[in-house]
Amino acid sequence: MLFFSFFKTLVDQEVVVELKNDIEIKGVLKSVDQYLNLKLDNISCTNETKYPHLTSVKNLFIRGSTVRYVRINPNAVDCTLLQDASRREAMQAAK
């Protein structure tokens, strides 16, 4: 739940998603769900052109299980808030 809420705070931010097959996709995060599936708008492939048809694609739905990294702008993240939230989650889990 924590990362689901975290991603919700990142909606409308530009992110770069790196998939497990090394493909990187830059886009604006539009939606996320409980499985951390991502919906990106205005996408562009930043490294390879393994998928040439992506040039005519504007929106992408990416299955969470295929994501390796999500690169975020550091200014978009409030680390102290994250730390507090993690602490709360850990305490809840310990109960």
Whether 67 and 17 have beta carbons less than 8 Å apart is answered as yes
Residue type, position 51, single letter: Y
* 16 contributes a contact to another protein by CB under 8 A: no
Shortest CB 51 distance to another protein, Å = 7
Whether 19 and 67 have beta carbons less than 8 Å apart is answered as yes
* 4 contributes a contact to another protein by CB under 8 A: yes
Helices 79-94/2-9 angle, 10° precision: 160
C-alpha–C-alpha distance, residues 93 and 95, integer Å:
5
Shortest CB 57 distance to another protein, Å = 4
Contact segment (CB under 8 A) with another protein among 50-58, 70-78, 82-90 equals: 50-58
> Phi and psi of 25, rounded to 5°?
-130, 120
* 46 contributes a contact to another protein by CB under 8 A: no
* 21 contributes a contact to another protein by CB under 8 A: yes
Interface residues with another protein (CB under 8 A) are 4, 8, 19-21, 30-35, 37, 39, 43, 48-63, 65-66
